Amino acid sequence: MGKHAAIAIAWIAGLTTIVVPILVAIYLASSQSLDAEKSRAGTLAAEVLRRSDLTSEQIYAAFEKLEGEHADDPCSWSNIARMREIDLGSTQLQAVGYIADNRLMCSSLGIHGAGIPLGPPDYVNAAGTSIRAGVELPFVPAMRFTISTREKSGYAAIVHRVLPLDVATYRPDISLGLVGKDNHELILSRGPFSPEWLEGFGQAGGVRLFDGEYVIAIEPSREYGYTAYAAVPATYLDAGTRRAALILVPVGLAAGILLALVVFYLTRRQLSLPALLRNALRADEFFLLYQPLIDLQSGKWHGAEALLRWQRPDGELIRPDLFIPAAEESGLIRQVTQKVMALLVRDAAALLQLYPDFHIGINLSAADLENPGIIDELRTILQNAGVGPGNIMVEATERGFLKTEHAAQIIRDIRQMGICVAIDDFGTGYSSLSYLTTFELDYLKIDKSFVDTIGIEAATSQVIPHIIEMAKSLKLKIIAEGVETEEQAQYLRERGVHYGQGWLFGKPMPIGELTIQLEKEKKSPES
Ligand code: C2E
Ligand code: CA
Ligand code: CA
């Protein structure tokens, strides 16, 4: 997986961790709100049913009582007195009366002359009770009543149309009502009503969401021929969702951001160079290439420099300019150097045993030169490879010499073992030249940036003769780095520079190629 793909995945993961909790929060909010409205609708329908059943109980009790008297004249004063008694004794009935020929002839209120015309009933239910819904009576204008009449006796119960619906609703536009069980005719209602609400309900009743417009609950009566309903407009659902979302979304957002931060932190840590390096060390993603050092006078291969390469599992090569500084900063450079040493022993032991005068240089960092353990590590290389100290060289940059106290002693010890030490990238550092006299060294490597100026009329081109003279006076052997042209080689040769390294002579190459070249040279020593 490439780094970009990994970063893209980290982004996707990060965004997902923000978006998903919010979506979950909204989903929870809406389902929470739906649940709340469902249970409210259910409670309201049950309450309407309870009150209606109570009313029905009282209506039928009144019928039984009046019919039980077998009055010859239902509108006799004694019968009216009985009606009043029943009326006052019931909590739900406004009046009881007697109907003949669609007229209310008398009631607990008295005798109504020739009778109040009521018109035909809306319907007759299975129990033989006719229902007139929404009747207006002249003595209480603007009020509407439901009149239930026992067909066989003519006795009637008058109930305030909304009384059983006088349920405390938490909002005004919630519809409540009572419909005939089989015909779905409205008996009582409050608010808008649609017959479709009742469709699809079984006899058991329950709650369902209809059309996305209303949350509807119905409760069929077990005793009587009607069904109570409650319908909550979906706008309350949305409002409920919004209210719940107002609490849940910020919580989701906070959780999301927190999660995203964790994801970013973890992926960044995972993607960071030190983390990748640590894995690479474990997974053996490193190998060495060897670049020859040429004797500028004879043209013979004098030695080579081991240069580390890091190849990611996807094939990507990471430049040492990038990962060496990262290893130095993250304290991993010691492990990197140890890896180089192990690779060197594995690659080059056989070759070096064949060529006792040929040396391979390894690059050491400042941290290596502060750690006395490096001496043992170098000694171990010689032992494990079965080679002499002349087969190994150490290259250290000016930066490596900065911590002079320790480095001076360690370099002395390295040289004591017979291993040569070169100062690398000479001329690019910012430290004073005094360490050149403090340290005893063997080689000086002129940095490529100076070699580049050869043949160009640049001010810095004046520097190179001075470096050469200084090295000579300090009795250091000189290696010119980054020699790319014959002109540069010629210039260096003329000024007595001993060795050259660069693409003109050979690019960094695998150990196999180096071996072949050395064999060729051995067979034809004059070339
Ligand atoms: P360096 O020690 O100065 O190594 C020489 C660099 O110059 C190498 O780059 C080499 O490939 C490149 N080079 C050689 N000849 C030419 C040439 O003619 N033209 C051009 N343009 N370049 C040339 P490389 O291998 O990329 O290494 C870069 C730096 O990384 C090295 O500079 C060294 O400081 C560091 N490095 C490489 N391997 C190791 C290692 O094993 N340990 C440590 N501590 N540092 C290493
Ligand atoms: Ca070097
Ligand atoms: Ca160098």
Report the SS3 class of residue 479. strand
289 CB under 6 A from ligand 1? no
Q: Is the pLDDT of residue 241 over 90?
A: no
The predicted-structure confidence for 307-323, as pLDDT tens digits, reads as follows 999 999 989 899 999 99
149 lines ligand 1 (CB under 6 A): no
Task: Give the ligand at the shortest distance from the Cα of 479.
Answer: 3
Å from CA of 425 to ligand 3 middle: 4
Report all structural domains of the chain as residue ranges with CATH numbers, in order of start.
Answer: 34-237 (no CATH), 284-514 (3.20.20.450)
Q: Is the CB of 452 under 6 A from ligand 1?
A: no
- For residue 235, pLDDT over 90 is answered with no
Lowest mean pLDDT among 111-120, 125-134, 316-325, 364-373: 125-134
Mean pLDDT is lowest, of 69-78, 228-237, 495-504, for 228-237
HSE on the CB side for 361, CA within 13 Å?
A: 26
CA of 424 to the centre of ligand 2 (A): 6
Helix spans in 330-387 (H):
333-354, 373-385
Could you give the CA distance from residue 298 to residue 527 in angstroms, rounded to a whole number? 8
Q: Which of 44-48, 97-101, 195-199, 326-330 has the lowest mean pLDDT?
A: 195-199
**Cβ–ligand 1 contact at 365 (below 6 Å):** yes
Measured from the Cα of 320, ligand 1's closest atom is 30
pLDDT of 229 > 80? The answer is: yes
Is any ligand 1 atom within 6 A of the Cβ of residue 502?
yes
Task: Indicate the top mutation candidate among 287, 290, 307 to test ligand 1's pocket, ranked by most ligand atoms within 8 A of CB.
Answer: 307
Residue 509 in this model has a pLDDT that exceeds 90: yes
Tell me, what's the pLDDT at 506? Answer: 96
**To the nearest whole percent, how much of the chain has pLDDT over 90?**
53
Q: pLDDT band for position 458 (50/70/90)?
A: low
Least confident of 183-197, 237-251, 269-283: 237-251
- 121 touches ligand 1 (CB under 6 Å): no
For the ranges 127-136, 206-215, 457-466, the maximum mean pLDDT occurs at 127-136
496 CB contacts (<8 Å, ≥6 apart)? 468, 472, 478
**What does the pLDDT read at residue 99?**
96
Report the nearest-CA residue for atom 25 of ligand 1: 307
pLDDT band at 2 (very low <50, low <70, confident <90, very high): low
Ligand 1 atom closest to Cα of residue 328 = 44
On whether the CB atoms of residues 235 and 211 are closer than 8 A, the answer is no
- 348 CA distance to ligand 1 middle (Å): 19
Looking at residue 308, its pLDDT comes to: 98
Q: Nearest ligand, CA of residue 445?
A: 3
Residue range 479-508, pLDDT digits in tens: 999 999 999 999 999 999 999 999 999 999
Amino acid at 357: D
What length does the chain have?
527
For the ranges 142-146, 410-414, 481-485, the one whose mean pLDDT is highest = 481-485
Ligand 1 probe mutation, 317, 323, 324, most atoms within 8 A of CB = 324
What pLDDT is stored for residue 432 in this prediction?
55
Q: What is the pLDDT of residue 214?
A: 86
80: pLDDT strictly greater than 70: yes
- Distance from Cα 320 to the centre of ligand 1, integer Å: 7
Residue 105 has pLDDT above 90, yes or no: yes
Q: List strand residue ranges (DSSP E) for 81-185, in order.
A: 95-100, 103-107, 110-117, 123-124, 129-137, 140-150, 155-160, 175-180
Does residue 391 have its Cβ closer than 6 Å to ligand 1? no
Tell me what pLDDT residue 84 has: 94
Q: Measured from the CB, is residue 425 less than 6 Å from ligand 1?
A: yes
Residue 400 Cβ contacting ligand 1 at under 6 Å: no
Report pLDDT for 439: 78
For the Cβ of 74 lying below 6 angstroms from any atom of ligand 1, the answer is: no
| 279-290 average pLDDT score | 96
Q: How far is the CA of 155 from the centre of ligand 1 (A)?
A: 114
pTM above 0.85, yes or no: no
Ligand 1: residue of 363, 364, 393, 487 to mutate (most ligand atoms within 8 A of CB) is 363
Ligand 1: which residue has its CA nearest to atom 26? 320
Can you give the pLDDT at residue 347?
A: 96
Cα 495 to ligand 2 centre (Å):
22
Phi, psi of 374 (to 5 degrees): -60, -30
pLDDT tier for residue 97 given thresholds of 50, 70 and 90: very high
Q: 481 alpha carbon to ligand 1 midpoint, in Å? A: 9
Atom of ligand 1 nearest to the CA of 365: 44
Q: What are phi and psi of 187, to 5 degrees?
A: -100, -50
Q: What is the per-residue pLDDT across 242-259, written as a single tens digit (0 to 9) for each?
A: 777 788 778 878 888 888
Residue 345 Cα to ligand 3 middle (Å)? 22
Q: Find out whether the beta carbon of 427 lies less than 6 Å from any atom of ligand 1.
A: no
**Is any atom of ligand 1 closer than 6 Å to the C-beta of 363?**
yes
Span 145-159, pLDDT tens digits = 999 999 999 999 999
Range 369-400 burial, b when 16+ CB lie within 10 A, else e:
bbbeebbeebeebbeebebebbbbbbbbbbbb
pLDDT of the residue at 460: 61
**Phi, psi values for residue 328, rounded to 5°:** -65, -40
The confidence score (pLDDT) of residue 174 equals 87
Is ligand 1 within 6 A of the CB of residue 317? no
pLDDT of residue 162: 77
Per-chain mean pLDDT for the chain:
88
